[in-house]
C-alpha cells in the first residue's frame, strides 16, 4: 500500500486517539475459513467506548460487521460445529451472554446477571456453555429505575477485598456454572468459599478442569494454585497433583488424557521474576506434571505494553489437532511472537518472526492456520493469517486495514530500535523516536519515558503518546532497563530486593546516550513515567538534577504506606525482602519520599482518585512535602479514574492528561 507524499500529511494529534480502531480479540472457525474478531472504538462526544464483532471470510475475502450499536460486545467463540457464535456483552448495563448464527442474523440473549463473567467455553454437544461467574453482592442490586446506592457498611475479612478497575470485590467467590443454551438456565458445578475459575472442557465433554487456590490464606499465598477436575454432570472434585505455583489457562489435550497449562514452580516468587512456562500433567495418574521448556529463559506470555489497551500477561495456550504441539506467545527483547513447543518437551520454535507485537492468536480445527493480531511500531494491529509452522511470517496474509489514516493522512515520527551501553558495559534496549518533520542540524528537546511494572517491556508496538510527543517536536527515548521483562529471569531479578540501583543506573545511561546525540539539546531533557515508571521518575529527581522537567504519573512515593493502601501492596514482601515492620530500613531506602529535600526539578504530579493500585495518598504525600519544602510542583487529579487512565480512561480525561503533559514540558523544555 502506497503512502501519501509527506508534504500532504500532518503530524498526529491528541484527537487522533479517538479515530483509532483497536482489535481486542480474534477467533478462528473450526474449518479455518472464517475469523471472528472484535474492534474497539471511542465515541468522544458521548465519552464512551464500544466494541463490535466483525466476521472475515478468508476464502471469499468479504468482511461483515456482525453486531452494531454502542455496546461492549466481546470474546466471540465458535460452537463446535461452527454454526453459532457465543459472545459476552454489556448491553442494558448488565453482563450477558448472547448467541447468534455464524452465517449472520439476529443475536439471542441467553443469559444475563449482575455478575462478572469469566471466559465461556462451548461443550462438545453444542447445547451448553461452561463459564466462571462471580455474582455481585445482593445488597448492591437495586430496582433498575432507582439509583444504585452503597451498602450501610462493608464487613472486610480478606486482604484482597478490592481490585483496581473493579473497586470493592463481591463477597461471593468465583464458581463454575453450566449454561443451557436452549433454556438459559444455569447449573452450579462448584461450591465453597474459595474462588474456582478458568474452566476447560475435556474433548468428550465428561470432565471440567478448573483452577483454585486452596492455601490457608490465598491472598498472602497468591501463587499457590491447584488444578482440579469435576464431572460435567456434577459430583466430587478431584485434585490433579501439580507443583506449588501459579496455574493459568488450562486446556485438555485432544485425546483428553493430559492437561496443559501455563505456570511455574516458585510460589515465593517476587513480582513476576520466575518464567511462566508451558506445563503438562496427566488427568488420571501418570504422567506427573512437568515443565516442557525448562531451558527456555523467557516468559510464555505476552509482556509487551502499549497505551491502547490494558491487557498483557494473559495466558494463551492451545494444542495442535494431533496433540503433538502446544502454541503460545512469548516476549523477547521488545518483541512478542507466536511459538510452539513439542508436547514431549524441548526447545520452542518461533512460528512468526519479526519486529512486531503479536497481541493475540487463535487456532482451531486442523490447526494448520493461525489467526493473529499483528501490531508494530506504526500500526496498532491488523488481522493476519499464517501457517502454524516455522517461517510462518513468510507466508502471512494481512486481511484488514483498520487505520489507513496512519499511512495516508498522518506522518508518524521515525522509531529506531537500538542497544546502548550502561555503566558496566551491559547492553540495554531502547527505542529512539524522532519528530515526523525532522530537520538535520537542528537541536531538539528530548523526553525519557520509563515503563511501569516493573516486569513489562516496551515493544515493537504502536504507542500514541510517544508519537504525540514526537509530533510536538520532542525526541523521545523509551527503554527497557534491568528489572523489566523480555530478557530472562536474571534480567528481571536484577532489582528484586531493592529498587533504585541497576535500574536507575540504566536510566542514567539512557540519559547519557540522549545527551550524546548531536540533534538533542542536552540542556532541555525531561523525564516521565507511570506506576513503577512514576516511582523511577520520583527516584530520579531525588538523586539527580540533570532533567529540566518531570511528570510523575500514578506513582509510588512511600513503599511503607503503599503496603496497606494498594490493593496488592501486601505482596511487596516478596519484592522487598519482608514487610515494612520486618525490614523497615529497606522500605525507607527504596522510597522516593525520603529524598524530596534534594529535588530541584520542576515536577507535575498526575494521579487518579480511584487508583487502587497506587493509591492517590502516594501523590498527596509527595505534593504536600514538595510544597512545604518550597519546590516547584503542581498536582493534577482525575476524579473517578482507576490506575489505567492512560490506556482506557474516560476519553475526555485521556485527552486532558495528554494536554497536561504537553503543557508542562512545553513550559520548561521549550
Considering the domain architecture, whether residues 525 and 657 belong to the same structural domain is answered as yes
- The candidate with the shortest Cα–Cα distance to 38, out of 16, 50, 53, is 53
Going by C-beta distance under 8 Å and a sequence separation of 6 or more, which residues neighbour residue 81?
Answer: 30, 126
d(Cα 32, Cα 231) in Å, to the nearest integer? Answer: 30
- The candidate with the shortest Cα–Cα distance to 149, out of 157, 159, 139, is 139
Considering the domain architecture, whether residues 388 and 427 belong to the same structural domain is answered as no
Q: Give me the residues paired with residue 201 across strands.
A: 208
Q: Pick from 379, 402, 425: which residue ends a domain? A: 402
DSSP H helical ranges for 431-501: 464-471, 489-493
Q: Are strands 277-282 and 258-263 parallel, antiparallel or unpaired?
A: antiparallel
Chain mean position to CA 39: 17
What cell does 303 get? 509482556
Considering the domain architecture, whether residues 370 and 472 belong to the same structural domain is answered as no
**pLDDT tens-digit profile of 131-167?**
999 998 754 444 445 566 788 899 999 999 999 999 9
In a domain, 500, yes or no: yes
* pLDDT above 80: residue 364: yes
**Per-residue pLDDT at 2:** 53
In a domain, 56, yes or no: no
**Per-residue pLDDT at 128:** 98
Considering the domain architecture, whether residues 513 and 385 belong to the same structural domain is answered as no
* pLDDT above 70: residue 524: yes
pTM for the whole thing?
0.96
Q: Pick from 402, 437, 454: which residue ends a domain? A: 402
**Per-residue pLDDT at 145:** 52
What cell does 47 get? 465519552
Considering the domain architecture, whether residues 393 and 425 belong to the same structural domain is answered as no
**Per-residue pLDDT at 8:** 85
* pLDDT above 80: residue 92: no
Average pLDDT over residues 408-421: 98
Going by C-beta distance under 8 Å and a sequence separation of 6 or more, which residues neighbour residue 183?
Answer: none
* pLDDT above 90: residue 371: yes
Instruction: Give the Å distances, CA to CA, from 328 to 36, 138, 297, 318, 381.
Output: 20, 39, 15, 7, 18
Catalytically annotated residue among 27, 202, 222, 531: 531
Considering the domain architecture, whether residues 422 and 398 belong to the same structural domain is answered as no
Cα angle value 528/360/415 (rounded, 5°): 40
d(Cα 392, Cα 67) in Å, to the nearest integer? Answer: 31
User: pLDDT class for 91, splitting at 50, 70, 90?
Assistant: confident
Considering the domain architecture, whether residues 370 and 428 belong to the same structural domain is answered as no
d(Cα 249, Cα 313) in Å, to the nearest integer? Answer: 11
In a domain, 665, yes or no: yes
**CA-CA-CA-CA dihedral for 207, 178, 77, 650, to nearest 10:** -130
Averaged pLDDT score across all residues of the chain: 95
**Per-residue pLDDT at 530:** 97
Residue 277 bears catalytic tag: no
**Per-residue pLDDT at 95:** 86
In a domain, 619, yes or no: yes
In a domain, 580, yes or no: yes
Show the domain range for 502. Answer: 417-669
Average pLDDT over residues 240-258: 97
Considering the domain architecture, whether residues 487 and 614 belong to the same structural domain is answered as yes
d(Cα 461, Cα 430) in Å, to the nearest integer? Answer: 13
Helix, strand and coil content of the chain, in percent to the nearest 5, comes to 20, 35, 45
Going by C-beta distance under 8 Å and a sequence separation of 6 or more, which residues neighbour residue 546?
Answer: 511, 525
* pLDDT above 90: residue 486: yes
The DSSP 8-state label assigned to residue 410 in this structure reads B
**Per-residue pLDDT at 139:** 46
**Per-residue pLDDT at 119:** 85
CATH of the domain at 524: 3.40.50.1820
**Per-residue pLDDT at 266:** 97
**pLDDT tens-digit profile of 451-474?**
999 999 999 999 999 999 999 999
Residue 607 bears catalytic tag: no
Three-state SS at 133: strand
* pLDDT above 80: residue 498: yes
**pLDDT tens-digit profile of 422-431?**
999 999 999 9
**Per-residue pLDDT at 143:** 47
Q: What angle, 0 to 180 degrees and rounded to 10, lies between the N-to-C axes of helices 464-471 and 651-669?
A: 40
Considering the domain architecture, whether residues 505 and 529 belong to the same structural domain is answered as yes
User: If you average pLDDT over each of 96-110, 124-138, 526-540, which comes out highest?
Assistant: 526-540
**pLDDT tens-digit profile of 618-657?**
999 999 999 999 999 999 999 999 999 999 999 999 999 9
What cell does 485 get? 521483562
d(Cα 414, Cα 411) in Å, to the nearest integer? Answer: 9
* pLDDT above 60: residue 1: no
What cell does 433 get? 523516536
Contact 274, 300 (CB under 8 A): no
In a domain, 439, yes or no: yes
Contact 149, 142 (CB under 8 A): yes
In a domain, 429, yes or no: yes
Catalytically annotated residue among 264, 374, 607, 643: 643
What cell does 189 get? 458445578
Q: Are strands 444-450 and 520-530 parallel, antiparallel or unpaired?
A: parallel
Strand ranges (E), 514-577: 520-530, 549-553
Q: Pick from 372, 402, 432: which residue ends a domain? A: 402
- Number of domains observed in the structure of the chain: 2
Amino acid at each position: 500500500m502506497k503512502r501519501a507524499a509527506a508534504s500532504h500529511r500532518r503530524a498526529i494529534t491528541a484527537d487522533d486517539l479517538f479515530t483509532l480502531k483497536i482489535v481486542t480479540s480474534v477467533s478462528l472457525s473450526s474449518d479455518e475459513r472464517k475469523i471472528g474478531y472484535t474492534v474497539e472504538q471511542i465515541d468522544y462526544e458521548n465519552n464512551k467506548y464500544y466494541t463490535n464483532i466483525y466476521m472475515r471470510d478468508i476464502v471469499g475475502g468479504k468482511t461483515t460487521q456482525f453486531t452494531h450499536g454502542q455496546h461492549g460486545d466481546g470474546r466471540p467463540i465458535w460452537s463446535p460445529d461452527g454454526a453459532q457464535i457465543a459472545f459476552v456483552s454489556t448491553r442494558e448495563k448488565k453482563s450477558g451472554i448472547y448467541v447468534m448464527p455464524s452465517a449472520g442474523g439476529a443475536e439471542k440473549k441467553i443469559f444475563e446477571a449482575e455478575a462478572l463473567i469469566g471466559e465461556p467455553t462451548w461443550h462438545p454437544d453444542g447445547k451448553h456453555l461452561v463459564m466462571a461467574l462471580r455474582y455481585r453482592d445482593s445488597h448492591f442490586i437495586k430496582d433498575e429505575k432507582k439509583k444504585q446506592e452503597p451498602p450501610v457498611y462493608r464487613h472486610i475479612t480478606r486482604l484482597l477485598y478490592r481490585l483496581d478497575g473493579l473497586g470493592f470485590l463481591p463477597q461471593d467467590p468465583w464458581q463454575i456454572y453450566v449454561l443451557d443454551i436452549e433454556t438459559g438456565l444455569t447449573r452450579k458445578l462448584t461450591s465453597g468459599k474459595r474462588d474456582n475459575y478458568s474452566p476447560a472442557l475435556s474433548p468428550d465433554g465428561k470432565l471440567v478442569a478448573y483452577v483454585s487456590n486452596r492455601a490457608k490464606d490465598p491472598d498472602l499465598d497468591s501463587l499457590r494454585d491447584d488444578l482440579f477436575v469435576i464431572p460435567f454432570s456434577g459430583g466430587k472434585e478431584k485434585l490433579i497433583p501439580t507443583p506449588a505455583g501459579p496455574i493459568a489457562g488450562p486446556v485438555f489435550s485432544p485425546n483428553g488424557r493430559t492437561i496443559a497449562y501455563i505456570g511455574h514452580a516458585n510460589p515465593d516468587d517476587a513480582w513476576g521474576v520466575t518464567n511462566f512456562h508451558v506445563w503438562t500433567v496427566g488427568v488420571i495418574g501418570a504422567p506427573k506434571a512437568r515443565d516442557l521448556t525448562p531451558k527456555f529463559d523467557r516468559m510464555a506470555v505476552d509482556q509487551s505494553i502499549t497505551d491502547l489497551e490494558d491487557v498483557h500477561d494473559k495466558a494463551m495456550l492451545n494444542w495442535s489437532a494431533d496433540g503433538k504441539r502446544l502454541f503460545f506467545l512469548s516476549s523477547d527483547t521488545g518483541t512478542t511472537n507466536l511459538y510452539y513447543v513439542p508436547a514431549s518437551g524441548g526447545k520452542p520454535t518461533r512460528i512468526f518472526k519479526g519486529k512486531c507485537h503479536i497481541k493475540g492468536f487463535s487456532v482451531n480445527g486442523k490447526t494448520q492456520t493461525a489467526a493473529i493480531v499483528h501490531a508494530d511500531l506504526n500500526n496498532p494491529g491488523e488481522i493476519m493469517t499464517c501457517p502454524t509452522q516455522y517461517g510462518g511470517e513468510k507466508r502471512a496474509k494481512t486481511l484488514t486495514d483498520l487505520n489507513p489514516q496512519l499511512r495516508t493522512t498522518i506522518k508518524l515520527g521515525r522509531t529506531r530500535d537500538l542497544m546502548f551501553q550502561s555503566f558496566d558495559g551491559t547492553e540495554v534496549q531502547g527505542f529512539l523516536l524522532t519528530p515526523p518533520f525532522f530537520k538535520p542540524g537542528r537541536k531538539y528537546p528530548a523526553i525519557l519515558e520509563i515503563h511501569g511494572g516493573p516486569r513489562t517491556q516496551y515493544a515493537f508496538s504502536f504507542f500514541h503518546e510517544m508519537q504525540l510527543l514526537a509530533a510536538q517536536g520532542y525526541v523521545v527515548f523509551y527503554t527497557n532497563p534491568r528489572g523489566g521483562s523480555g530478557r530472562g529471569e536474571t534480567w528481571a531479578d536484577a532489582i528484586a530486593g531493592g529498587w533504585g540501583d541497576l535500574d536507575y543506573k540504566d536510566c542514567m545511561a539512557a540519559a547519557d546516550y540522549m545527551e550524546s546525540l548531536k540533534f538533542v539539546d542536552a540542556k532541555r531533557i525531561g523525564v516521565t513515567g507511570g506506576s513503577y515508571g512514576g516511582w523511577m521518575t520520583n527516584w530520579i529527581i531525588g538523586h539527580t538534577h540533570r532533567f529540566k522537567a518531570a511528570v510523575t504519573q500514578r506513582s509510588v512515593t512511600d513503599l511503607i504506606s503503599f503496603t496497606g493502601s494498594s490493593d496488592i501492596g501486601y505482596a511487596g514482601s516478596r519484592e522487598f525482602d519482608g514487610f515494612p515492620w520486618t525490614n523497615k530500613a529497606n522500605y525507607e531506602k527504596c522510597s522516593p519520599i525520603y529524598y524530596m529535600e534534594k529535588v530541584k526539578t520542576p515536577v507535575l504530579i498526575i494521579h487518579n482518585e480511584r487508583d487502587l493500585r497506587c493509591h492517590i495518598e502516594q501523590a498527596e504525600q509527595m505534593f504536600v512535602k514538595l510544597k512545604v519544602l518550597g519546590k516547584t510542583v503542581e498536582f493534577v487529579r482525575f476524579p473517578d479514574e482507576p490506575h489505567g487512565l492512560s490506556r482506557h480512561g474516560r476519553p475526555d480525561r485521556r485527552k486532558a492528561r495528554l494536554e497536561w503533559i504537553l503543557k508542562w514540558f512545553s513550559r520548561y523544555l521549550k
